Chains A and B, each alone.
Chain A
Amino acid sequence: MKAAAVAAVATAFAWLLLRAESQTSISLLLLLAVAAGVAAARLRFRLSGPSVLAFAAVAVLALLLREDDFSLLLLTRILIVVVACLGLNVQFGYAGVVNFAGASFFGVGGYTAAILAPRLPHLLVLLLGGAAAALVGSILILPVLRTRGHYAALVTIAFALLFRTFLEVNDTLGGPQGLKLPELVIGPFHFNDPVFDASFYLRYVALGLVLAALALGVVQRLERSWIGVALDAVRLDEIAAASFGLSIARWKIAAFTIGNFITGVAGALSAFMIGFIAPNNYAFSESLILVSILLLGGIGNPWGLALASAIVIVLPEKLQTIQEYRFLIFAAVVILILLFRPAGLLPRPLRRLKT
């Protein structure tokens, strides 16, 4: 009951915020959100309920916004970023493998989609986007396994920089001008046709929801299973884990590959939706934004990163009215949140195996 009420309130709030245009209404709504957040933290408000509720809330929100192309585009972007971050979450949050090249794997998915889309059915292309990201990741994992801590981080940063330069000088991949993608077609659905009178973005929201549900299902089951326990052990203490017979390399490879696959699929869908990709989209700074979503949400908690994704995408957008100062304000907000909640908005709870 409580969860249903929260979902309804959150939907109403999101609807108001996405439609708000004036500076006063946006500031009022944001203040309200901060107040609600602080109150919830003070009252030690705990929320548990079926995940279905959250997805239902997003679906209802999409239907409420059915004619508003821009809000639906934002909503789909949030869902795509959630999926990408769920992938990173497996790496950072569970196995403790650092990956500062999230946007690069996102980009591998996007470029794979751009190249294969004219030739293969698009549902397969989405999966191949993930597979390509996993494949590229399986090469990068070699130096990552040989290094630790800051050094492993440096390896992934180097890869992120290299990836962007590679795209820029590679003319078969469109070079700096990028590539155009055809319309996404899955079965009988042409994604760029309007849905009755409503926006064509409704189909993208639906597909985003399906992907997010699948990714969430995989990640949550992974966490609850013995695999999740093994990954946690590897992250917390490699020596202890090894002495219990866990193969560190094996679990790191597993987490890295699964994570990159999920991120790659998200990248492929993103490329289809924007219809155009270029190296600028996959810069190192984008990887940092993905990592900051994890930190802001609370590493390891899928719901935390969902909330953080919404903030990171919607806030700069709603700050457009202050033009060139928006990222300044946005960055200040992120720092403030982390100052008061150093473990993120929704830190990962302990695993409760009995329910």
Chain B
Amino acid sequence: MRFAAVALIALLSFAARAKETVRIAFIGPLTGGNSAIGLGGRNSADLAVRLRNADAKAKYTYDLVVLDDECKPDAGVQMATKAGSDRTIVGGVTNYCSVVAMAAVDTYHRFGLPVIVWGAVLPDITYKNDFKEVHRVNGTMINQNQTNAKFMSEHGYKNVAIIHDTTDYGKGHDKYFTQFFTQSGGKIAGDFGVTADQQDFTAELTQLKGLKPDALYFGGLTPIGVRIRAQMDKLGLGVQFDGTSGIVNDDFIKALGPNAEGALAFREGAPAEKLAHGKEFLEQYNKQGYTQPPEAYGPFAYAAAVLLMDAIEKAGPDRKKIIAQLSPAHVKDVESIVGKITFDDHGQNTVPVITKYVVQDGKWVMWEDSEYASGKRKLAK
């Protein structure tokens, strides 16, 4: 009896020891203004790790080291140094804020830490340097605005006015939309930068009304998007409202009510519920009982964590080998919950799916499924 117990304990401890523990880092904004998205990303990456650890076929047990970059460059560099200088951490799922990612890429490169960016959209993060360590699963603003500009010109909009907020997010959108829209023969009627906490847009909208645009492009996040859309009606400016990924959430519709009807927006990635694995992701996510929703970029954090762990499974817990495993030769048409992932020479996912959305009866509906596409309803002119 005693022998059996000893043998059992020995067996159990052997089983536990048979799997080596591998540490990977998650870096994102857990405190401050962007914490909702950061926590959603953290939970999603955590979910990926939990599911992998529950999988008997996995070679390693994974330990997620969560670090808070506060959406500030200095804190971001500090966390990048922490993860990079800790040799037990072999890779990272990092950064939602573009400024922080820009500041931190040098540090990842210096320490040779392979990272996969899960949310930052600034193109320069992957394209400005030639760092083999840095990869990104989500698309950049470039992709999103390319689709947006193409959509607008195809639907007969020639003269579009722009309002954008003056953060990196809004300014970037302004730049790329203008670039692609003018390339496809459109004209920018006027371009207004506003601060992210502005309340009253009467001045901008009145001036804009005089310019007689056929649509208003808005580059920014939900709170001011809601205000602008509401104030457009007050001034009798009935043009088409064309938004970015920043307004694709339920709050936008809840705040505007029926006024939201017909608003357009574009976002990277296919909606999770449309993909076979995506549905599974949402189910598993709800099962774990996280207190915060995954938010828009949770699926990307999940996909990045899965991609990183897959690379570790194949290459072993060695930074250099993982980087080799994440090279374009190996990451080609990899299935994930955000669509297929293919890295180019800069580690950028080149086939990010962009989904077009339109508000129909109080819901964000995929353009292709909407009554607007079938011709039953019409966009504003």
Instruction: For the complex, give the distance between the alpha carbons of A336 and B77 in Å.
Output: 30
Interface residue? B71 (CB, 8 A): yes
Residue of B nearest to A280 (CB): B72
Q: Identify which of residues 317-352 in chain A touch chain B, using a CB-to-CB cut-off of 8 Å.
A: 317, 320, 323-324, 326-327
> Using Cβ atoms and an 8 Å threshold, which residues of chain B touch A281?
72-74
Chain A residues whose CB sits within 8 angstroms of the CB of B171 once the complex forms:
175-177
Smallest Cβ-Cβ distance to A275: which chain B residue: B106
In the complex, whether B327 has a CB less than 8 A from a CB of chain A is: no
Given contacts A168-B167, A270-B74, A277-B73, contact A324 B98 (CB under 8 A): no
A175 to B122, CA, bound (A): 13
Which of A7-15, A69-77, A247-255 touches B? A69-77
Residue of B nearest to A170 (CB): B166
The answer to whether B77 touches A274, judged by C-beta atoms less than 8 angstroms apart, is: yes
Contact of B166 among A74, A169, A180, A280 (CB under 8 A): A169
Q: Kindly provide the distance from the CB of B42 to the nearest chain A CB, expressed in whole angstroms.
A: 7
Which of A168, A199, A276, A278 is B106 in contact with, Cβ under 8 Å?
A: A276
Q: How far is the CA of A77 from the CA of B35 in the complex (A)?
A: 24
- Are B77 and A276 touching (Cβ within 8 A)? yes
Chain A residues in 8 Å Cβ range of B31: 324, 326-327
With A and B bound together, what is the CA distance between A180 and B107 in angstroms? 13
Which of these, A69, A177, A326, contacts B85 with CB under 8 Å? Answer: A69
Is B280 interfacial (CB-CB < 8 Å)? Answer: no
CA of A270 to CA of B82, assembled, Å: 17
- The reply to whether A177 and B98 contact each other, CB–CB distance below 8 Å, is yes
Q: Within residues 71 to 109 of chain B, which ones have a CB less than 8 A from any CB in chain A?
A: 71-74, 77-78, 81-82, 84-86, 97-100, 102-103, 106
Q: Indicate if A51 sits at the interface (CB-CB under 8 A).
A: no
Partner of B66, one of A199, A278, A323: A323
Q: Is the CB of B39 within 8 A of A69?
A: no
> In whole angstroms, how far apart are the Cα atoms of A134 and B239 in the complex?
50
Q: Is A225 an interface residue (CB 8 A)?
A: no
Tell me which residues across on chain A come within 8 A of B195, comparing CB atoms: 165, 168-169
Cα-based distance from A168 to B198 in the complex (angstroms): 14
| Contacting pair A276 B30 (CB below 8 A) | no
In A276-309, the 8 Å CB interface with B consists of 276-278, 280-281
B42 (CB) vs chain A CBs: closest residue = A323
Q: Do A176 and B168 contact each other (CB < 8 Å), given the known contacts A324-B39, A327-B31?
A: yes
Q: CB of B193 within 8 A of chain A?
A: yes
In the complex, A232 has a CB within 8 A of chain B: no
In the assembled complex, the Cα of A73 lies from the Cα of B77 at a distance in Å of 10
Across the interface, which residues of B come within 8 angstroms of A93, CB to CB? none
Name the B residues within 8 Å of A165 (CB-CB): 166, 195
Q: Are B78 and A73 in contact (CB under 8 A)?
A: yes
Contacting residues, chain A, for B98 (C-beta < 8 A):
177
B85 and A278 contacting across the interface, CB-CB below 8 Å: no
Closest-by-CB residue of B relative to A286 is B72
Is A323 touching B102 in the complex (CB atoms < 8 A)? Answer: no
Q: Which residue of B30, B42, B84 is within 8 Å of A69 (Cβ)?
A: B84
Minimum CB–CB distance for B198 against chain A, Å = 11
Contact across chains for B167 and A70 when beta carbons are under 8 A apart: no
A320 touching B68, Cβ below 8 Å:
yes
Q: Chain A residues with Cβ under 8 A from B124's Cβ?
A: 177
Residues of A within 8 A of B97 (CB): 280
Q: Does A137 contact B (CB under 8 A)?
A: no
Chain B residues, CB < 8 A from A278:
73, 99, 102-103
Contact A280 B71 (CB under 8 A): yes
Chain B residues contacting A178 (CB-CB under 8 Å) are 73, 99, 102-103
Q: Given A169-B193, A323-B30, A324-B39, A280 and B77 touching (CB < 8 A)?
A: no
Chain A contacts to B: CB under 8 angstroms? 68-70, 73-74, 77, 165, 168-169, 175-178, 180, 199, 270, 274-278, 280-281, 317, 320, 323-324, 326-327
A-B contact pairs, 21 of them (CB 8 A): A70-B81, A70-B85, A73-B81, A175-B166, A176-B167, A177-B99, A177-B122, A177-B124, A177-B168, A178-B102, A180-B102, A199-B85, A270-B74, A274-B77, A276-B103, A280-B72, A280-B100, A281-B72, A317-B78, A320-B68, A324-B39
